[in-house]
Amino acid sequence: MPPSAMRAPSTRNSDPGEDLILLRRVAERDREAFERLYLEYHPRVIRFLYRLTRNTETAEEVFNDVMFVVWQKASDFRGHSRASTWILGIAYRKGLKAAAKARRLRAQRPFSELELATLQEPRSMVDRRELRDWVGKALDSLPDPQRIVIELAYFLGHSCAEISEIVGCPVNTVKTRMFHARRRLRDLLPHLGAPAASPSAAEISE
């Protein structure tokens, strides 16, 4: 397989120029532009926030807080970065606080939403969910700053420079966080990407 076949397609699916125009119109209190921006960012930012908080309602609530800030502060945006970087930066700061709160609540529950859903699904879905759950648990074990770098890079497809702007830290700090996150994830998920030839349950029982 050529190396390029293993690369993820870019997930930054909005047009930076169009986003900038919309944001400027929002700064002028253009409600239609706000609604377009809202609907454009809704799917991916909600998913990003869900990945941070593991709670749909919290993700929805935080996203509305983010877009309310966008409405109020659009005139402060100077265009030194992409509009998406600015909006993600707001989502990052608000999501981080909500994630800490959600983690405390999750610790008080006997079953996670994922585990409850797993009990009610057919086997093939359970297999896929198990893999995601496995990766999810490995990500959960990372310190928040490292996990967020991974989420921004692999879930939302941002570059190193963009992540440094979103998170508000130097590029070298992003690289260091990525380095430690990779090392930790490799320890926890040694077979991801190159599955080991594990014996089946029947083979083990023989």
Partner 1 sequence: MNQATPSADRHSEIWDLLPWYANSTLSDADQRTVEAHLESCTECARELSFLSGLSATMHAEEALLVPAERSLAAVTGRIDTVEAARQGRLDWRDVARIVRAKLAAGGGFRLDPALAAIALLLIVVTAWFGSSAFEPEFRTLSNVEAQASDAEPTIRLVFAGTATIDELQELLTGLGVTLVQGPSNYGVYTARIAAAPNGAQPVEVLDELRRHPLVSFAEPIPGPEAPGSAP
Binding footprint of partner 1 on the chain (CB under 8 A): 3-4, 6-11, 29, 31-32, 34-36, 38-39, 42-43, 46-47, 50-51, 56-57, 59-61, 63-64, 67-68, 71-72, 128, 131-132, 135, 150-151, 153-155, 157-160, 162, 175, 178-179, 182, 185-186, 189, 192-194
Residue with smaller CB distance to partner 1, 6 or 201 = 6
CB of 69 to partner 1, least distance (A): 10
Task: Give the list of residues 6+ apart from residue 23 with CB closer than 8 angstroms, or none.
Answer: 33, 37, 70, 74, 77, 83, 86
CB of 109 to partner 1, least distance (A): 17
Roughly what angle, to the nearest 10 degrees, separates helices 160-167 and 171-188? 100
Residue with smaller CB distance to partner 1, 109 or 171 = 171
CB of 162 to partner 1, least distance (A): 8
> Cα-flanking dihedrals φ and ψ of residue 24, to 5°?
-65, -35
Residue with smaller CB distance to partner 1, 198 or 205 = 198
157: phi > 0 → left, psi -120 to 50 → alpha, else beta; which?
A: left
Residue with smaller CB distance to partner 1, 111 or 154 = 154
Alpha carbons within 13 angstroms on the beta-carbon side of residue 119 total 5
Q: Do the Cβ atoms of 62 and 49 come closer than 8 Å?
A: yes
Residue with smaller CB distance to partner 1, 119 or 204 = 119
Q: Do the Cβ atoms of 143 and 178 come closer than 8 Å?
A: no
DSSP 4: G
10 Å Cβ neighbour count for 94? Answer: 18
**Secondary element (H or E) of residue 19:** helix 16-27
Residue with smaller CB distance to partner 1, 130 or 168 = 130
CB of 196 to partner 1, least distance (A): 13
Tokens of 175: 């690289």
